[in-house]
Amino acid sequence: MEQKKLSIIAFSGDFDKLTAVFTLGTGAAAVGYEVNIFFTFWGLDAIKQKQGRSLTGGNWLTKIFGFMMGGLKVTPTSRFNFFGAGPKIFRYLMRKNNVATLEELVEAAKALGINLYACEMAMHVLGLKKEDFIPEVKEVLGVASFLNLSEGGQTLFI
Amino acid sequence: MATKVLDITKEHCPMTFVKTKIELSKLQPGDILEVLLAEGEPLDNVPRNANEQGYNVLSVEHVEGTTHKITIKR
């Protein structure tokens, strides 16, 4: 039997949407799917080596963008962000209710060997290099390669 | 031949089967994993997924209340 496959385009850098990306990804990997996650634009925040705010980027403009976007620890919620208090409240509620937090899901994704990819074009725009990402990022890809590796499976855009 | 116990009674989707999968992948041939889990989604899915991935589900026992124990062998 051919292995089932789920490919997710992680476009959003929102805490709640990234939680959906990693919940679906880890769940699918745990039941035997091959899972590919393609991070692009705001989604790249999730795989940055520096999880807080840092001046990551090429020139002064992309460095400011890099600082404003930040990494996994400072992702905002798409609603109820309350200037950054929202994600803290959600993390508290998730911990209290024994639901995996975003950080735990990312660690599980690494442990399950999910394939993480970064979008070449968005990296170019934002002045990001492969070294700015966590070492688990397998490759830097473009549309053609993503279509190729997602072929024959299910694809989601989040 | 080692036996390991994993308690996922307090976990929720997807960590119930994520933790099970991670522990299963650490087993050597012949090793046993005992998983304590709750009724509902985990009890419905964890044994089925283990089976589908080629592991041998030896037993599903009721422990107490809503807790069940499944024994899986690699």
Is B14 marked active-site? no
B72, B32 contact by CB (below 8 A): yes
- Residue ranges covered by each domain of chain B: 3-73
- What is the predicted pLDDT for the residue at B1? 80
8 Å CB contact of A23 and B13: yes
Return the percentage of chain B with pLDDT > 90, whole number: 97
Give the CATH fold of the B3-73 domain: Translation Initiation Factor IF3 (3.30.110)
The stretches of chain A forming alpha helices (DSSP H) are 15-30, 60-69, 85-96, 102-111, 120-126, 143-150
- Of B25, B50, B24, B17, nearest in space to B59 by CA: B50
- Residue ranges covered by each domain of chain A: 5-157
Q: How many angstroms separate the CA atoms of A143 and B4, rounded? A: 44
A3 touches chain B (CB under 8 A): no
CA distances in angstroms from A6 to A25, A30, A102, A145, A151, listed in the order given: 8, 12, 19, 15, 10
8 Å CB contact of A30 and B14: yes
Average pLDDT, chain B: 95
- What is the predicted pLDDT for the residue at A57? 85
What ipTM does the predicted assembly reach? 0.86
pTM strictly above 0.95:
no
* Chain A, window 91-110: residues with a beta carbon less than 8 angstroms from a chain B beta carbon: 97-100, 104-105, 108
- Catalytic residue from among B2, B13, B18, B63: B13
DSSP state of A74: G
CA of B68 vs chain A CAs: smallest distance (Å): 19
- Of A138, A117, A9, A123, nearest in space to A66 by CA: A123
CA distances in angstroms from A9 to A19, A28, A85, A155, listed in the order given: 13, 15, 27, 8
- What is the predicted pLDDT for the residue at A1? 59
- What is the predicted pLDDT for the residue at A3? 86
Q: Which two tokens stand for residue A127?
A: 């002045």
Domain A5-157 CATH class label: alpha beta
Question: CB atoms < 10 A from the CB of A9, how many?
Answer: 21
Q: Which two tokens stand for residue B64?
A: 């107490």
Q: pLDDT (tens digit, 0 to 9) for every residue of chain A, 158 residues total?
A: 578 999 999 999 999 999 999 999 999 999 999 999 999 999 999 999 999 998 888 889 999 889 899 999 999 999 999 999 999 999 999 999 999 999 999 999 999 999 999 999 999 999 999 999 999 999 999 999 999 999 999 999 99
Per-residue pLDDT tens digits for B26-45: 999 999 999 999 999 999 99
